[in-house]
Amino acid sequence: MGITDYIKLGMLGIKPAEIKELKEKELTMDQIVGLAEKGYTPADMAALAELASETPEDKPTPEPDKKTGEPDDKSKQSEDKQKTEENQELLKAQQLILKLQNQLAGKDLSGGKPEKSNREKVQDIFRNIY
């Protein structure tokens, strides 16, 4: 959490106020820097922090059946079905995240300027000498 992290984030276009907001959402500096280097905006990071902090609502546990000592089958089946649906939603969200990360990974961040070849760089150096 040194000054170098703040400099890196500043170079990536993230303002100190945005850093403060992200830290209030319980993100560490390492997480903020890592996400920023991967191309995430502060709004994206805040959304990810909110998703990570959401906890499933406390569900009442079914009362055990007095005869067998186990929850009744209907409530158990409904819980299993609900868990399966939640798992499917999580898998879809993970797949979406991977898809978006892959799209960002292939994105050209050079600003449209072609990079100079090594030969051109050396020629520029010699032009400046004379």
d(C-alpha 111, C-alpha 72), whole Å: 62
Residue 58's pLDDT is 46
In this prediction, residue 3 carries a pLDDT of: 83
In Å, how far are 65, 80, 84 from 77, measured between CA atoms?
14, 5, 10
Angle between helices 42-53 and 16-24 (to 10 degrees): 10
DSSP label at residue 72: -
Per-residue pLDDT of the chain (130 residues; tens, 9 = 90+): 578 888 888 888 888 888 888 888 888 888 888 888 888 888 888 888 888 777 655 445 555 555 555 556 778 888 888 889 889 999 999 999 988 888 888 776 666 677 888 999 999 998 888 6
Identify the pLDDT of residue 70. Answer: 57
Q: Which position has the token pair 């560490």?
A: 28
Cβ-based burial of 37 (10 A; exposed 0-12, middle 13-18, buried ≥19): exposed
